[in-house]
Amino acid sequence: MDTFQEASAEVETQPTENITENGGGFWRFLLDLIETLVLSVALFLGINAITARVLVEGFSMRPTLDNGEYVLVNKIAYRSSLPEYGDIIVFHFPIDPHQDFIKRVIGLPGDEIRVSDGKVSVNGYSLSEPYIAAAPLYAGSWIVPENHIFVLGDNRNNSSDSHSWGPVPSENVVGKAIIVYWPPPDWQLIKHIKIAITTP
């Protein structure tokens, strides 16, 4: 008789235990979901804090970069220093900061930039530039102000750059272009060819 009563008691309490277990499973799932979302948001914000993704629009950087390529940018590369000669950088366009441009660094603060006879010179020294599409057909001279950078596109004769609208304030620099990551056939590490001085 006692055995029958104990068995009945077990049968009566079983549904209550299932309800408790199901309720705990739901809250566990909800907690895991929240943790995943928080981690995803933190990861997204962290990645965006140190990198940017930029679409190359136009042909001003040919043959180095082409229209339609997506570039990954290191936003902390110049946190404590200026770009170096030859670096390919992304910056906010001085005339319209809502636009981002990508160009090559030619001059730093205090430099005298001169373009004549198809050659670019910095402080009186001509540059050897194997990366350009063609020699520039324009001419001019510029002094780079303090806290500014002089940039040119590698496709010199088809580029809106410092030769047409002036140097870029250093505060406008977003970062250093490091990788072409899309489309897949164009994937490559971006080469920042150091500018070579040839003649005084």
Which residues are identified as catalytic? 60, 103
| Dist CA 193 CA 82 (whole Å) | 16
As to burial, measured by CB atoms within 10 angstroms (0-12 exposed, 13-18 middle, 19+ buried), residue 131 is middle
Q: Which residues on neighbouring strands pair with residue 52, listed in sequence order?
A: 73
Quote the CA–CA distance of 15 and 19 in Å, as a whole number: 6
**Alpha carbons 106 and 150: distance in angstroms, whole number:** 6
